[in-house]
Amino acid sequence: LKYKLKMTRESKISILVATDIHLGFEERSLIRGDDSFKTFEEVLSIAQRKKVDFILLGGDLFHDNKPSRSTVYRCMELIRKYCFCDHQVKFQLLSNGEVDFYHSTFKHANFQDSHLKVGIPIFTIYGNHDDVAGNGLCAVDCFHACGLVNLFGKHEGVEELNVVPLIVKKGSTKLALYGFGNVRDERLHRMFSKGKVTFSSEDPESCFNLFVIHQNRAQHSLSNYIPISFIPDMMDLVIWGHEHKPLPDPEWHEKFYIMQPGSTVATSLSDGEAGPKYCYLLHIAGKEFRSEKIELTTNRLFYFEDITLDNTGIPPDSADLEKKVEKYCVEHVESLLEKCKLTLEEEMDRPSLPLIRLRLHVNHEFKKFSVKQFGKQFVDRVANSMDLLIFATKRDSVSMLTTVDKKLLSAAVRKTSQDACERIEAVVTM
C-alpha cells in the first residue's frame, strides 16, 4: 500500500470521515448545550464545501441511546440542510441491499430512493452510546428509516459474526466498506479468539478494503479491548472509532494503516480529550489513498495540565504550603486564560469560555483546599468552574510483580474470566 494518490477525478472517491459526534452531550447546560451541534454543523459544512462523495461516521452519533426530542430535531435539521441538495452522487453501490440493509424495510441506500433528493449520503455504524435496545433498535435505526442516514454493519448474532462489505464503485476504483456496530468488548474478543468473526470478500485484491470499527483500542483489561492482530491482513485502512483521543496521521501496522479520528467534542475532562479536534478528508483511488486532517474551529478550547508539588518550586516544608500551592494554581489558570484569549482573537467561531482541568498531584499529608471555593474564582470565565481542579494522591507504596508473576497471573485471570463470560453468555442466550 502506498501512501499517495495518482488518479483522475472520475475514479477518485472522496470521503469526509468523523467519529464520536455525541449529539446532545450536556444539552441542558446553558454554557455547553450547543457545543456538539455547532461542531457537527461544521463537519457537515466542510463535507458540502469540499464536495465529497459521502460522509462516513464511526459510531456514537448521539450521546444518549434515547436522545431527547430536541436533539433528534436538531440533528434532522442539520442533515437536511447540508446533505439534501443538488450535489450529484457520482458513485454506485453495487452490493446487495437485501444484505447491506437487511434490518430495514428499505433495502437500498437513501440516495437510491427516487423520493429523496440526497446529494451527500451519510454512512454510519452504531456505537456504544447509540446502544441497540432490547427490541433491536436504536435512534440511528429511526434515521435510517427516515432516509437521513444509511446504517450498515448491523448484526444480530451473539455467537458468531460474518462481516459483509458494501461495495462502492466510482470509475475504475472499487471500495469494499466493512464495518459493524459496537459489541461488548469481552464478547467480541472471545469471538475473534475462537475464529467466530469472518469477513466476506470476493476478491480483496481488486478493492480498496476499508474497515470501520467502534471498540476499545487501548487495553483496559485482559479482554476488554480488540488487539490489532485480530484485524484481517487484507485490510488497507482501518478507521477506529470510540477512542476520543485523535491521532492526527494514519499509522502503519505491518499490513495496513490505522486512522483514529477521535471525537469532535470533549465528553470528559481527561488529558486524552484536550487539544485540537479533527475531521478528515479521505481520497481513495485504486489501492492507494491520501488523508488530510482538518482542525475543527467551532469546538470549545480545552486545556489539561498536570501539576506536581516539585514543579511549583515551593519547598514542601514551607509554612502555609497549601495557600502557596493554591495561589500557584490560580496564577496557572490565569496564564491559561490569557493563552485562550490570544487564540480566540484568531479563531472567533469558538465558544468564548474554555474548559480547563488542573490535576494537582499531592501526598497524603497535604491538606487539600476546597475545590469548589477555588472554582468560584473563575465563574463566568471558564465553562467548568466547579470541577476545574482535582487532586491526585500519590500512593505510599506500590507492590510490584515480577515479569514471571505477571504472566502467570494474567494467564490464570484470563482463563477464569473467559470461563465466567462463557457461562454468563450461555445463560443470556438460552
53 Cβ contact list (under 8 Å, min separation 6): 13, 14, 15, 89, 90, 91, 120, 170
Q: Please identify which of the residues 22, 63, 87, 129 carries the catalytic annotation.
A: 129
184 contacts 109 by C-beta, under 8 angstroms = no
Instruction: Please give the Cα distance from 345 to 54 (Å, whole number).
Output: 33
CB-based contact 298:350 (threshold 8 Å) = yes
Q: Please choose, from the candidates 247, 244, 250, the residue with its C-alpha nearest in 3D space to the C-alpha of residue 216.
A: 244
Q: Measured over all CA atoms, what is the biggest interatomic distance in the chain, rounded to whole angstroms?
A: 77
**Residue 388 DSSP one-character state:** S
d(Cα 383, Cα 349) in Å, to the nearest integer?
16
> What is the length of the chain?
430
Active site residue 144: no
- Cβ-contact 83, 44 below 8 angstroms: yes
CA 225 to CA 188: how far, in whole Å?
9
b/e sequence 353-363, b meaning 16+ C-beta within 10 Å: bbbbbbbbebe
Residue located via cell numbers 489501492: 287
The two counts, helices (H) then strands (E), for the chain are: 9, 18
Q: Strand, helix or coil at 193?
A: helix
Whether residue 278 contacts residue 296, with contact meaning beta carbons closer than 8 Å, is answered with: yes
Closest-CA residue to 278 (of 80, 123, 65, 58)? 58
Closest of 150, 162, 161 to residue 184, by C-alpha? 161
| 145 close to 118: Cβ distance less than 8 angstroms | no
The residues, any chain, with a CB within 8 Å of residue 169's CB and separated by 6 or more, are 91, 92, 93, 94, 175
Residues designated catalytic: 129
